[in-house]
Structure 1
């Protein structure tokens, strides 16, 4: 079975998908958590940034070997050296890599070129952009195939009184662009399940739902039960795009 998601579009993304973000710090915990997630109905596996830093290419290769039928997304948060970083992950078995909107055009284009060569989806992250709609338009214009509307961990924790959420601008970003969009950053399960109705049909579960957001270790509780119920609800959701999209 091919795991390629390189040519994912709004038109061929016909049902919502579930992605588990493995924001962990060692391969053993990552493999165990991924096994529970896949058994629970999760579609995509994300090598979260903490796991990239801790285990790097070893994590990608280990997950590729254990889960040959699931697309693997690597949250590189690339800011420079775009082609090399993407090339290394593609060689290790990644199906998608992330580049930051704050990176130079040359870096974004380099990652896009690597994506074309190695058959990977390139995802562009709008973290910390002052004008997120404009940033997402720019990313799409540079060839990025999917947009990540992202409210960062530190930003949210510094200003809990603001109730920062990626849902607040999500429909504006979906309406202003034509490629698939994903929303991440502190969403509850119920909020995340609302994403397909806002035009963002690839739903991410990570910290603090599947991963402890303070220790970056597996969350306590019955992860399998929680993910099974959440994945079922996501898969049953309706995808709706704004009329202007």
Structure 2
């Protein structure tokens, strides 16, 4: 079951920046190996990325919960429908947070939020592809999500190089909401480390630092050394809200 550790997270209760490592992988073996490295490096949260959800589903969540019983598990379901069922299944497998898409119907978002209340989940609302990101963030908070994920998608970034980054509208989104905000999507290490100073205290590291974005396998090289230094730098930041 969910540990419930982050269900009631607020801006006020996040006293220092946190690191979330996204496991956008396609096997439990690779996920456990990379998560072990991430935890050794100082990561605070573990994300079961969408490719891992598709490839291994509940098995991955259960395996990570068993191996890391005290680390919050975020499951990137990208829920669009059937929200209550998906959230319940993940909570029972050990998830602490699930992600619902802002482009879903209001009913789906409220159903996921109701399940979050019942099963002790933090519900994160993703604004990917919304025409007005600030308005979307406000809507997601009004519908009950506990965190807004400001997200520029992988395909969009690949086909529109040089376009806006998640940092472009981040200050406006943080200013328009009162729940914690997270910025994800193609950020460099330095850009990600800047997030707490812009009001987004939960910093995500995934591709290309932790994951090979072309193959969705664990990245080569000195992952432990690079991630350890990145975690140290994030943890040393000061959280500032506009």
TM-score normalised by length of structure 1: 0.97
1:58-207 superposed matches below 5 A: 58-162=59-163, 164-207=164-207
3-state DSSP of counterpart to 1:129? coil
- For the residues of structure 2 that align with 1:240 and 1:192, how far apart are their CA atoms? 14
- For the residues of structure 2 that align with 1:34 and 1:172, how far apart are their CA atoms? 33
Unaligned runs of 5+ in 1: none
State yes or no: 1:8 paired with 2:4.
no
- For the residues of structure 2 that align with 1:83 and 1:69, how far apart are their CA atoms? 25
3-state DSSP of counterpart to 1:31? helix
- For the residues of structure 2 that align with 1:158 and 1:213, how far apart are their CA atoms? 14
3-state DSSP of counterpart to 2:124? strand
State yes or no: 1:53 paired with 2:59.
no
Superposition deviation, residue 161 in structure 1: 3.5
Superposition deviation, residue 220 in structure 1: 1.1
| Residues 21 and 45, structure 2, Cα contact 8 Å, conserved in 1 | yes
- For the residues of structure 2 that align with 1:95 and 1:226, how far apart are their CA atoms? 27
- For the residues of structure 2 that align with 1:124 and 1:108, how far apart are their CA atoms? 8
Runs of 4+ in 1 over 4 A off after TM superposition: none
| Residues 4 and 121, structure 2, Cα contact 8 Å, conserved in 1 | no
State yes or no: 1:41 paired with 2:42.
yes
3-state DSSP of counterpart to 2:113? helix
Superposition deviation, residue 3 in structure 1: 5.8
| Residues 4 and 120, structure 2, Cα contact 8 Å, conserved in 1 | no
Q: Structure 1, residues 76-117: CA drift from partner, whole Å, max 9, x if none?
A: 000000000000000000000000000000000000011001
Unaligned runs of 5+ in 2: none
- For the residues of structure 2 that align with 1:12 and 1:160, how far apart are their CA atoms? 36
TM-score normalised by length of structure 2: 0.98
Quickly say closer, same or farther: Cα 1:225–1:3, change in 2 above 3 A: farther
- For the residues of structure 1 that align with 2:151 and 2:235, how far apart are their CA atoms? 22
- For the residues of structure 2 that align with 1:161 and 1:175, how far apart are their CA atoms? 25
| Residues 124 and 149, structure 2, Cα contact 8 Å, conserved in 1 | yes
- For the residues of structure 1 that align with 2:4 and 2:80, how far apart are their CA atoms? 26
1:23-34 superposed matches below 5 A: 23-34=24-35
